[in-house]
Amino acid sequence: MVMIVDTPTLATLLKRVGVETFLAELADRIEADFANWPQFEKSARLAAHSAVGVVELMPTADAEWFSFKLVNGHPGNPAKGLLTVTAIGMLVDVATGYPRLISEMTVLTALRTAATSAFAARRLANPGAQTMALIGTGAQGEFQALAFKACLGIRRIRYFDTDAAAMKKFAANLADAGLELVACRSAAEAVTGAELITTATAVKAAQRVLTDGMVGPGVHINAIGGDCPGKTEVDARLLERARIFVEYLPQTLIEGDIQALGSSAHATELWQVVAGRAPGRTGRDEITVFDSVGFAIEDYSALRYVYDKARALGLGSESPLVPAPRDPKDLFGYLTELVGR
């Protein structure tokens, strides 16, 4: 039997666990898996680009589990009433090769991206940060805000989106979240006084959402929207002033904001900081950037977390997606038993 976790089941799981607890526990799981980085099979994701978006396959494995996610990114979708990012993922038992879990990963991607952002910021930002600027309040926005509250104790979000309706829905969704929400009229206004900045915009172009003069010393930038060839958010001059951290460098060189640096692109892989092999922030005034594009190990962590939680809480349905014949060599006979001769 294969466990199926669809979106309503994940919503039930989230309600039972609590969104902030889920985000905090998942951030710890992702951090622990980053500490085991050398144990994982790794490759840059397979990406099929079109003029309007990208469809990607993101696999990884350790000795116990193989996982993959199928995900898209189509910035023009909301204008058609569709999500920019949707995803489905699978967890497979390495010992038998049998699939164990198929899960919705649209909501789970938002949760794991936010949990990854928060754990990276916990490692890289100056301690005691209270205010985060959020540029882009689309589908990822609330998850980012709640993860930074749960994992870093952020109290205030200064937010801006070019779409006033997206700002309104963000404020309505987080009205009771225990955060002070400050609506701003521009990205420049939003970043004023913020110790942390998250950019989560979706435009298939080399945008300059954050430019050099906008960011002062000591700020940590969590840049999640620059995640495809030719789709970036942070100006090269700002990157040149910063220490840059990435997930998996071979993938980020193709997809991340560091594309803007061309052949002089440089960055530290975050797992090295977690494993104590490279320094994180080295001074209070340093600007740090987490140039996030999303990596398969984060999906692995999220799928395993959901699998464990769903089993513990008795959630998820079991589906006979893999045949179970009494004689494993008699697949044909098994079919005949199911439907008759």
Q: Report if residue 163 touches ligand NAD, rule: CB under 6 A.
A: yes
Q: How far is the CB of 90 from ligand NAD (least distance, A)?
A: 18
Stretch that binds ligand NAD, among 18-26, 95-103, 203-211, 269-277 (CB under 6 A): 203-211
Which C-beta is closer to ligand NAD: that of 126 or that of 251? 251
133 scored as a contact of ligand NAD (CB under 6 A): no
For residue 119, give the nearest of 281, 301, 274, 306 by alpha carbon: 274
The answer to the question of residue 221 lying near ligand NAD (CB under 6 A) is no
Residues near 280 by beta carbon (within 8 Å), at least 6 away in sequence: 123, 124, 245, 273, 288
What DSSP designation does 66 have? E
Q: Is 147 in the site for ligand NAD (CB under 6 A)?
A: no
Cβ nearer to ligand NAD, comparing 185 with 329: 185
Output the smallest distance, CB 116 to ligand NAD, in A.
7
d(CA 12, CA 8): 6
Selected from 101, 115, 132, 139, the binder of ligand NAD by CB under 6 A is 139
> What track of x and - describes contact with ligand NAD for positions 224 through 253 (by CB under 6 A)?
xx-x--------------------------
- What is the closest distance, in whole angstroms, from the C-beta atom of residue 233 to ligand NAD in the complex? 8
Contact between 187 and ligand NAD by CB under 6 A: the answer reads: yes
Determine, following the binding rule CB under 6 A, whether residue 12 of this chain makes contact with ligand NAD.
no
Catalytic residue annotation: 227
User: Beta 99-104 vs 87-93: how paired, if at all?
Assistant: antiparallel
Q: Which stretch binds ligand NAD (CB under 6 A): 172-180, 197-205, 214-222, 300-308?
A: 197-205
Shortest reach from residue 223's CB to ligand NAD, in Å = 8
Q: Which of 234, 251, 250 is nearest to 242 (CA)?
A: 234
Helices marked H in 192-265: 236-240, 249-255
Q: Does 103 bind ligand NAD (CB under 6 A)?
A: no
Are the beta carbons of 250 and 226 closer than 8 angstroms?
no
* Helices (runs of H) and strands (runs of E) counted in the chain: 11, 17
Minimum distance, C-beta of residue 312 to ligand NAD, in the bound complex (Å): 27
292 forms part of the interface with ligand NAD (CB under 6 A): yes
Distance CA 88, CA 73 (A): 13
Quick check: 109 binds ligand NAD (CB under 6 A)? yes
Q: Distance (Å, rounded) from C-alpha 299 to C-alpha 231? A: 22
Nearer to ligand NAD among residue 20 and residue 189 (C-beta):
189
The answer to whether residue 136 forms part of the interface with ligand NAD (CB under 6 A) is: yes
301 binds ligand NAD per the rule CB under 6 A: no
Any residues with CB less than 8 A from the CB of 89 and at least 6 apart, and which? 67, 68, 69, 70, 102, 103, 105, 108, 299, 302, 303
Q: Which stretch binds ligand NAD (CB under 6 A): 17-25, 78-86, 147-155, 327-335?
A: 78-86
Residue 133 token pair? 């600027």
Contact 30, 301 (CB under 8 A): yes
DSSP 3-state assignment of 173? helix
Assess contact for 106 and 82: CB atoms under 8 A: no
Q: Which residues bind ligand NAD (CB under 6 A)?
A: 73, 75, 78, 84-85, 109, 113, 135-140, 160-163, 166, 187, 200-203, 207, 209, 224-225, 227, 292-294
